[in-house]
Structure 1
Amino acid sequence: MAEAGENRVFGKRATQHVLILASGDRVRHMTIRPWMTGLVAGTIGLFALGYLGATAYLVLRDDLIGATMARQARIQHDYEDRISSLRAQLDRVTSRQLLDQQLVEQKVEKLLRQQTALFSRNGKLGSLLERAEGAGISAEPVSSQGKETAAEAIDRQAGLTTSSIPPARTALAYAPSGENMADRADRIFSKVTLSLKGIESEQLKTIEGLTTDAARKADSMAQIMRRTGVEVSDKRSEAQPLETPPLRTGEVKGGVGGPFIEPMKFDRFNASLDELDTALTRLESVRETALALPYGNPAPGQGITSRFGNRPDPFLGRLAFHGGIDFQAETGLAVKATGAGKVITAGWASGYGNLVEIDHGQGITTRYGHMSRILVREGQTISVGDTIGRAGATGRATGPHVHYEVRRNGEAVNPIHFLNAGLKLTTYMN
C-alpha cells in the first residue's frame, strides 16, 4: 500500500491509502476512502455492543428467573392459604346443611309414601269411577290437585316450576340467603301436607257421594221392579263404622285378658272404597236384572189397538179373554225383543200364527204373535232390543199388528205394568 503525492494546486494533498493486491502476475489496487473506514469501524462497534448485550443478558437471566420463580411461589402460597380458608368455611356450611338435609330427606320420604298411597288409591278409585260411569252415575269433579304428585305439590307450594328448575328435593337444598333450609322445608311441607289432606278429603267426599247415589238408584229400580212381581236381591252393603267405638270402662262383667297388641288402625278410605264397590255391585245386579226382564216395547212408537183382559171376540162377537196387548203395525215392521233371554219357540202356533217365545228367567216369558216372518231360531240367545221378526197378520188375526204377551209361570199377566215400569226404569238405565 502506498501513499499519494502532495497536491500542487492547493498545497499538501490529503493522504490516501491504497491497498495493493497481487496474485501471480496480476496486481490490483484498491483505494481505501474515509467513509469505508468509518463503515468498518461502525460495524465492528455494533458487533461489540451486541456481544456485550448478550453477555449481560446471560449474566442477568438467572437472577431474573430466580426473582420470577420466587414471586410465583409467593402467589401460590397465598392462593393455597385462601383455598384452605374457603375449604374450612365450606366444610362448616356443608356440615350444617347435611344436618338440615337429613330432616328434609325424612320429610320427603314421608311425602313420597303419601304420594304412593295416593297413586294406589287413585288406581282403585279409577276403576270404581269407570264402573260408576257405566252404571250411569256421575261423580262431582275432583280437584285437579288429585292428579298432582308429591314432588309437584312441593314445587307448587315453593313457588317453583318443574320445567325450569331441578326437582324440589334438590331445590330445597339451596335455601336463599337469610333463610334456614330446615325452616323453609317446614314451611313448604306443612303446606303440602295440608294440600294432600285436602285431596284425600275431596276423594272421600266423592266416594261417599257415589255410594249414596248408587244405593239410591238401586233402591228405586228395585222398588219399581217389585211392583211388577219381580224378585230383586236386596243385599245391601255392610258398611263398616267410620270411627272405632270408644272404649268404655266399668261396664265389663267378669274377667278379661290376653296379650297386649297395638290397636288396629282404621282405614277410612279403603272402607269407603269397599262400600262403593258393594253399592256398585248391587246396582249392576239390579241393572242386569232389568235388562233381562221384559221392560222394553216390542213396537216402539206404535199405538195400542187392543188391551189386556176381556173383550168382544173379533170373529165370534162374544166376550173372550185377551191375554196380551195388540200394537198397531204395518206388515214388515220390525218386532223388538223387550228383554234379554233365550228363544224357546220360533215357528207356527195355532191361533198365534208365526210365534216367537222368549224365556227371561224367574219364570217370566214373552210371546210375539201373528208375525209375517221369523228372524230367530230356537235356542238362540237374544239381547234386549234385538229384532226377532216382522209384523204381519198370520194366524187368527183380522189385520197386520203385533200381538205381545207377558207370562209368569205360564199365566198371562198384564204387559202394561211392565211397559210402565220400563218407562220409569229408562231414566235410571241411561
Structure 2
Amino acid sequence: MSNTAVFGKRKEPHTIIIARGDRISHFTVRPWLAALFATVLVAVAVGYLLATSYLVLRDDMLGAAIARQARMQHAYEDRIAALRSQVDRITSYRLLDQQLMETKVAELLSRQSVLAKRSSRLAPLLDQARASGIAPQGGRLDPASIPVPAIREEPDGSKRTLFRPQTPVRAGTDQAAAESPAETPGDGTTPVIALSRLGSSLDDLESDQINQISALASSARALRRKIVTDARNAGLPLQVPAPETEGTGGPFIPARVEDTAPEVFENELEALNRELEALENIRGKLRAFPISNPAPGHRLTSNFGYRRDPIIGKSAFHSGIDLSLKTGSPVYAAGSGTVVRAGRNGGYGNMVEIRHAGGLTTRYAHLSRIYVKPGQTVAAGEKIAASGSTGRSTGPHLHFEVRRNQKAVNPMTYLEAGRRLGPYL
C-alpha cells in the first residue's frame, strides 16, 4: 500500500513520451525545471501586460500633451494676432497723430511767418511813431519771441517734433547737443497741450499787434488834435480840414477772429499810417510858422510897439523886437519858407526876408553877413545870416520882425507859441 502511485507526490522525475509515427521520443522533466519554466512564463505574461498598459497609457498621455500643446499654440497665435492688430491700430493712431502734429506745426509756422512779415511792415511805422513821441505801451510785437516748434526728419526716416528753437553753436559746444532740443516742452505737458499753448501765444501776439496799432493810431490822433487846439489857442492861423461826419451802422454779424484778423490788421495799419501822415503834416505846417527863436539864448533889449527912438529920442513905432548879439553871431530862420529878399534895404541895413505859411513873413535886419539868396527854400532853424550893426543901428544886435499880410505884428506872440508847441515838434 505504501507503493501506491499518487500524481505529484512522486519523487522520481516525470518522463514525457512523445510518439510521432514510428518514432517515439521521451525526455525527463525535473520538478525544478518545470517550476522555472512556469515562473518564466508568468514573468513574460506579466511583462507583456505591463508593456501593453504602458504603451496604451503613453499614447493617451502623448495625445493629451499634443492636444494641450495645440491648444497652447492656438492661444499663442490668437494672442499674437491680437497684439499685431493692436500694434497696427497704435501705428495707425501714431501716424494720424503725427500727420495732425505736422499739420498743426506747419500751420503755426505759417502763422508765425505771417506775423513776422507784419512786424517788418510795422517796424517803419513804429520808428516813425517813436520819432513823433508815440511809442507802444506793453504788449508783444515780435513773433520771434515765441518758440514755435518744427518737424525734423531723422536719418532713419522718422520725424521728430522740436519744441524749442535751436540755439546757436558756441565755441566748445558739441554740435549735436546744440541741435538736439527735447521732444517735449520739458514741463510735463503733452505735445498736443504744448501746441495748443503755442497757438494761444500766437493768437495773443496777433491781438497785441492789432491792439497796439490801434492804440498808436488813437495816440497819434489825440496828439494831432491837441497840437491843433494848442496852436489855435496860441493865436496861430493854422488851417486844417474840418473832420467829416463819421456815421456808421448796419446789422450785427459775428465774425471769427481768425477770418477777420488779416483784414483788421490791414485796416488798422492803414489807419495808423494815415494818422502818422496827418500828424507829420500838422507838424510841417507848424514848422512853417515863424515860432522858432532866431537867436536862442540871447537877451531881449527892445520890445514890439511904441518906444523912444534910440537915435533921435522921439516917440516912434518899433515894428519888431531887438535881441542883443555880438557881431558875427549866427542868425537862424524862425520857420520854414522861401527867401524873398536878401540884401541891402535902407534903414534895415543888410536884411533877409522869408515868406512863410498863412500870409506871414519874417525880417532879419542889421546883418553883417547873408548866407541865403532870393528864391531859396529854408527850413526852420537853418542858419541864414550873421548879426551885425548895418543900417540905422546904434550897435550890433538883431532886429526881428513878423508881418502878417504885410502888416507888422508882435513877434513875441509867435515865439511864445513856439515855446508852448516846442515839445510837439
TM-score range, shorter chain: 0.5 to 0.7
- Identify if the C-alpha distance between structure 1 residues 193 and 153 changes in structure 2 by more than 3 Å, giving closer, same or farther: farther
In structure 2, the residue matched to 1:287 is 283
Cα 1:160–1:337 change in 2 (3 A) is closer
User: Residues 77-226 of structure 1 correspond to what in structure 2 (within 5 A)?
Assistant: 93-143=90-140, 146-148=143-145, 151-152=148-149, 160-163=164-167, 164=177, 171=183, 184-226=190-232
- The answer for the alignment partner of 1:230 in structure 2 is 237
Question: Post-superposition, which runs of at least 4 consecutive aligned residues in structure 1 deviate over 4 A?
Answer: 84-93, 152-155, 164-168, 234-241
RMSD between superposed Cα atoms in Å: 3.7
**SS at the partner of 2:275?**
helix
Match of 2:411 in 1: 415
1:311 to 297, 307, 312: 307
Alignment of 1:245-260 (within 5 A): 245-246=251-252
Q: 1:399 to 1:245 in 2, by over 3 A?
A: farther
8 Å CA contact 2:141, 2:208 repeated in 1: no
Instruction: Give the AA of the match of 1:303.
Output: R
Deviation at 1:372, TM superposition (A): 1.7
Equivalent in the alignment of 1:276: 272
Residue 247 (structure 1) shift: 6.0
2:326–2:396 CA contact under 8 A, matched in 1:
yes
How far apart, CA to CA, are the structure 2 residues paired with 1:90 and 1:191? 30
Query: What is the deviation of 1:141?
Result: 4.5
d(CA) in 2 for partners of 1:310, 1:154: 84
Q: Distance in 2 between matches of 1:112 and 1:240?
A: 40
The C-alpha deviation readout for 1:193-222, integer Å capped at 9, x for no partner, is 211122123223322332232122212222
1:245 offset after TM fit, Å?
Answer: 4.7
Partner Cα distance (1:399, 1:144) in 2: 60
- CA separation of 1:406/1:328 partners in 2, compared to 1, >3 Å: closer, same or farther? same
The one of 327, 333, 336 equivalent to 2:332 is 336
Distance 2:299 2:128 in 1: 37
Deviations 1:364-399 (A, max 9, x none): 111000112222222222122222111111111122
Unmatched 5+ residue regions in structure 2?
1-79, 153-160, 168-176
Q: Which has the larger radius of gyration?
A: 2
Q: TM-score, normalised by structure 1?
A: 0.65
AA of the residue aligned to 1:217: L
Cα deviation digits, residues 71-93 of structure 1 (max 9, x gap): xxxxxxxxxxxxx9999997665
**Quick one: structure 1 residues 215 and 95, their matched pair in 2 at CA, closer, same or farther if it must change by over 3 Å?**
same
Please list every run of 5 or more consecutive structure 1 residues that lacks an aligned counterpart in the other structure: 1-83, 249-263
| Structure 1 residue 332: Cα displacement | 1.5
1:325 Cα deviation after fit:
0.8
Q: CA deviation at 1:139?
A: 2.2
Question: Matched residues in 2 for 1:399 and 1:216: separation?
Answer: 47
Once the two structures are superposed, what CA deviation does each residue of 1:5-40 show, in whole Å capped at 9, x if it has no partner?
Answer: xxxxxxxxxxxxxxxxxxxxxxxxxxxxxxxxxxxx
Aligned residue identity for 2:114? A
1:52-91 aligned at under 5 Å gives the runs none
Cα distance in 1 for residues equivalent to 2:322 and 2:299: 9
Match of 2:13 in 1: none
User: Cα distance, 1:101 vs. partner?
Assistant: 1.8
Paired residue for 2:398? 402
CA distance in 1, matches of 2:401, 2:416: 15
Aligned 8 A contact 1:132 1:210 in 2: yes
Aligned to 2:21: none
Counterpart of 2:103 in structure 1: which amino acid?
Answer: Q
**Alignment partner of 1:384 is 2:384:** no
Superimposed CA distance per residue, residues 344-365 of structure 1 (whole angstroms, 9 cap, x where no aligned partner): 1110001111000011233211
